[in-house]
Amino acid sequence: MSDLVGKHIVLGLSGGIACYKAAELCRAMTREGATVQVVMTAAAEQFITPVTMQALSNRTVYGSHDVSGFDAREANGMPHINLSREADAIVVAPCSADFMAKLLHGRADDLLSLMCLARPIATVPLLLAPAMNREMWAHPATQRNMAQLAADGATILGVGSGFQACGETGDGRMLEPPELLDDLIAFFQPKPLAGRQVLVTAGPTFEAIDPVRGLTNRSSGKMGFAIARAAREAGAAVTLVAGPVALPTPRGVTRVDVRSAREMLDATQAHLPARGVFVATAAVADWRPAEVKTEKIKKQDDGALPQLEFVENPDILATVAATPQAVQGELYCVGFAAESHDLLAHAQAKRARKKVPLLVGNIGPDTFGQDDNALVLVDAHGSRELPRASKLALARQLVADIAARLDRPHAEGVAR
């Protein structure tokens, strides 16, 4: 989607084996449209060469030999000033325990630390991706340093857990490049839902007939997962109740996996915020077998067909819309309608029937399993179309629309 077009990132590398991940991170940022200026410490150069980073960034790398006041490439001899003023953000990945301690105390004995100290704090954010041994990570000194750096305005991106180069296993690994990229993209997104809670349901449900068969639908869950990601990017604390889908959990989102409609209802009620937003994108099965057979139903020699009786599943959206917090406007409910025809008419009717302030419609066969979609937003005042685009782009538009409704002082059914 080229989410970083127009952004200029200074990528700093301090010493650590995780420098090999910085190469892929650099490539990923350029693929998203960013320009990347690499600055390396002497320790970083022991793990990866400036030539590698230059090839990936397509820019001259500033390394351990580039000391402020002695760089002939800079007209004023001040790369620590020039590089920091040009940046939209400085990302140090990997950021070693030693480099964090250096930043904490304001030491500036190499170009990278000097540049971080000289950056305009109000306009050039500093993002740190720690990387170290598990004992170093857990040490009280490291934890104190990180807390103070965060208090001083730096953003700590956290760490991963797993096997480490030293042979030990635990917390302290640098996050993987795709995770860091997601965090960086999210960092630059507007935060209109900051401080709010959002609950999203996504994907199909599966209603068992016997131990090997069941009723489901073609929903891939991609739209709901995109909305969960967009809401998290917008600053919300997001819980995602997901039916049986094979999708990775969006960064920073709490995921609850379910299978049947009744399980989805139970999980929704258990995680429903008292105040906030509920977005029901899941394609919930309308019916389920009245009886689940304990053994596989076999074909009959005479060709007789099995007789199945169905009962109606609970209506999750209508149930939530009828809760006191939704009725009183503390919980803003958004429903989805996947139709095969007459989209606007069906969406308007469903919105009125479910008693929700906003209903989002789409043509199911045109979107199931696809990476793009087209939406129509229906409320009490009419409708608005969102033209076909990627599901993430649409999710961001929808989240922005919901946030704007929450901010309207007299909006119908909107939490204040």
Per DSSP, the three-state class of 386 is strand
What stretch of H or E contains 3? none
* CA atoms of 216 and 276, how far apart (whole Å): 30
* 372-379 and 382-390 strand pairing: antiparallel
CA distance 47 to 233: 33
Rg for the chain, CA atoms, rounded = 26
Beta strands in 177-327 (DSSP E): 197-202, 207-208, 214-215, 237-242, 254-257, 276-280, 287-289, 310-312
Which stretches does DSSP call E strand in 49-111? Answer: 89-95
Give the DSSP per-residue string, 76-112: TS-HHHHHHHH-SEEEEEEE-HHHHHHHHTT--SSHH
Q: How far apart are CA 136 and CA 287, in angstroms?
A: 54
The two tokens of residue 96 are: 């070693």
Read off the tokens for 152.
């001083």
| β pairing state of 276-280 and 331-339 | parallel
Strand locations in 134-196 (E): 155-156, 160-163, 169-173
Beta-carbon contacts of 251 under 8 Å, excluding residues fewer than 6 positions away, are 179, 182, 183, 186, 229, 232
SS3 37: strand
User: Is 154 within 8 Å of 108 (Cβ atoms)?
Assistant: no
**Catalytic residue of the set 95, 116, 166, 333:** 166
CA-based end-to-end distance of the chain: 33
Assigned token pair, 186: 């999210």
- Is residue 166 annotated as a catalytic residue, yes or no? yes
Please list the active-site residues: 166
